Amino acid sequence: MEPSAKVDTQPKPRLIVRLGIFLASHHILFSALCCSAGIIALLFLPSLAKNTYLSENALIPGSANPLFSSEDVTEANKFIKGIEAAAGESRGGMEMSKFIVQQMKDLGAEVCYHEFLPHSKHFHPLKFFTSMTNDLAVRPNGTYSNSGTNTIGIIRAPRGDGKEAIVLVTPYNPQRVQANEVLSLALGFSVFSLLSRAAWLSKDIVWLSADSQFGEYTAVSAWLNQYHNPMFVGGVKHEPDGIAEKAEFTDFKRAGTMAAALIFKVGETRNYGDRDSVTMYAEASNGQMPNLDLLNVVHYLAVHRQGFRVNIETISSLLSSAWLRAIAEVIHTLGSILRKINPDWKLDITASDYVEGTANLASSIYNQALGVPTGSHGAFRDYQVDAVSLEFSPTFYIRNENAKSSFLVRGGRSVLTGLLQA
């Protein structure tokens, strides 16, 4: 009797320990189970996601009156003509930035040039953890042709205290001017000119027309680096260059702390779809994302106010894949059954929406996992500034004047209203 009781009580461990042992001994089974549960949850995500969530921060998007009028469009058209003439005049690209500076000055903005050298692509294992500040400020003698020139205009908010600034970025390549880049500059200009007349601004507005001959990212990050980590040793004294006016504008000008940044450009003409579309890019380096309110507001305004079609990047192969469509059907039927049980559960979405949502999701996951920024907004995120890239894709042929005007109106409005909320 005595020994048998000992055998019964002694080797029996506690329940939690026994469960642990059990899990450990069947770890392959359990990991497979968890993994598949994760994938199923992920597949359910597009149908579970609410359409557009707006947090209170963004108050009432679109409540402001769109001020962008046809007058601004005629201004912008004038600007396009001027800049095309300037681009035709010189191959060096200096004429274009001179023209932009002149236009900005006429609007009463403070103007400056920022010269930079292309970021060397070499990988320095020793410098990996230190920031590379030196390689941009120093300029080797005599190599003028190698440097890019950003043009910066700053509107000081009349009644503001100048603590904060919003940055607008329009990239263009002065070496090889294209119609869509000119259009994006014109869009930037018209928005800038409208804001220069606004007395209600509370934040300063900075317009950076970035010289993208070495890539957009390089130009923007060089400017941001100069803004946040300037070098005071060397590089300050410029010998008077060939251009006389330029010396006047070489002092680097600043506004306050950056609150948000908006990069907008006009893409190539795309012929699918019946509406002009806006493509949003938000993924920055190491999978960082800006404040999602910024994305949601832009999305909301573009869709509900301006009738743009908003694209978010997708993985196109997923759009046509048969298996995803099959899953979509399954989820659709499952959703409709669930809906019959309780009409409040809105889980059924149409198969095509589901496929698109999944493709968006997959692309976003891919970009965030890859950790490579999808545009120059990545440079802003490195300095904890919320930024989003908008690429407008018109459906018309870019040389068409009338279509251009109406496009400018809508583009301008959407950018502006987006800005107001930022």
State which residue, 252 or 396, has the beta carbon closest to other proteins.
252
Query: Judged by CB under 8 A, does residue 229 bind other proteins?
Result: yes
- Give the C-alpha separation, 248 to 251, whole Å: 7
Can you read off the two tokens belonging to residue 302? Answer: 């573009």
Question: How far is residue 302's CA from residue 311's CA, in Å, rounded to a whole number?
Answer: 10
Q: Which amino acid is it at 277?
A: S
Kindly indicate which of the ranges 113-121, 171-179, 192-200, 261-269 contains the residues binding other proteins, using the contact rule CB under 8 A: 192-200
Judged by CB, which is closer to other proteins: 345, or 397? 345
Tokens of 175: 């070496």
What is the number of alpha carbons within 13 Å of residue 105 lying toward its C-beta? 13
Residue 237 interacts with other proteins (CB under 8 A): yes or no: yes
Q: Where are the alpha helices (DSSP H) in 119-215?
A: 134-137, 179-196
| Rounded Cα distance, 414 and 264, in Å | 11
Per CB under 8 A, the segment of 111-119, 224-232, 350-358, 399-407 that binds other proteins is 224-232
Residue with smaller CB distance to other proteins, 130 or 342: 342
CB within 8 Å of 30: residues ≥ 6 apart: 23
Nearer to other proteins, 122 or 237 (CB): 237
Distance CA 243, CA 93 (A): 13
Q: Which of 32, 38, 49, 106 binds other proteins (CB under 8 A)?
A: 106
Q: How far is the CB of 52 from other proteins (least distance, A)?
A: 22
Contacts with other proteins, 332-351, as mask; x by CB under 8 A: ---------xxx--------
Nearer to other proteins, 67 or 398 (CB): 67
- Angstrom distance (rounded) from CA 336 to CA 351: 12
By rule CB under 8 A, what count of residues binds other proteins? 39
Toward other proteins, which CB reaches closer, 102 or 350?
102
Among 120, 384, 397, 400, binds other proteins (CB under 8 A): 384
User: In 3D, which of 337, 363, 359 has the Cα closest to residue 348?
Assistant: 337
Does 251 bind other proteins (CB under 8 A)? Our answer is yes
Residue choice 123, 128, 232, 323 for contact with other proteins (CB under 8 A): 232
Q: Could you say which DSSP state residue 343 is in? A: T
Does 230 bind other proteins (CB under 8 A)? Our answer is: yes
Q: What is the DSSP letter of 400?
A: -
Tokens at residue 59, please?
Answer: 């108050």
Q: Which stretch binds other proteins (CB under 8 A): 171-179, 270-278, 377-385, 391-399?
A: 377-385
Is 126 an interacting residue with respect to other proteins (CB under 8 A)? no
Site pattern 1..20 for other proteins (x: CB under 8 A): ----x--xx-----x--x--
Interacting residues with other proteins between 194 and 213 (CB under 8 A):
196-197, 199
User: What's the chain's length in residues?
Assistant: 422
Which candidate, 264, 263, 266, 260, places its Cα nearest to that of 294? 260
| Stretch of 79-87, 249-257, 361-369, 400-408 contacting other proteins, by CB under 8 A | 249-257
Q: Is the CB of 122 or the CB of 159 nearer to other proteins?
A: 159
Q: Does 313 bind other proteins (CB under 8 A)?
A: no
Residue 236 binds other proteins, judged by CB under 8 A: yes
Across the beta sheet with 110-116, what order do the strands follow? 110-116, 148-155, 204-211, 164-172, 257-266, 386-393, 277-281, 309-312
CB of 158 to other proteins, least distance (A): 5
Q: Which residues contact 192 (CB under 8 A, 6 or more apart)?
A: 104, 107, 109, 153, 155, 168, 205, 207
Query: How far is residue 77's CA from residue 350's CA, in Å, rounded to a whole number?
Result: 42
Nearer to other proteins, 189 or 407 (CB): 189
What is the spatial distance between Cα 58 and Cα 296, in angstroms, rounded to a whole number? Answer: 9
Among 66, 160, 215, 287, binds other proteins (CB under 8 A): 160
For the four alpha carbons of 62, 386, 101 and 402, in that order, the dihedral sign comes to negative
Tell the smallest beta-carbon distance from residue 166 to other proteins (Å).
Answer: 13
Is 76 or 266 the residue whose CB approaches other proteins more closely? 76
Question: Alpha-carbon distance 107 to 112, whole Å?
Answer: 14
Binding residues (CB under 8 A) for other proteins: these are 5, 8-9, 15, 18, 22, 106-108, 156, 158-164, 196-197, 199, 228-230, 232-237, 251, 254, 256-257, 341-343, 382-384
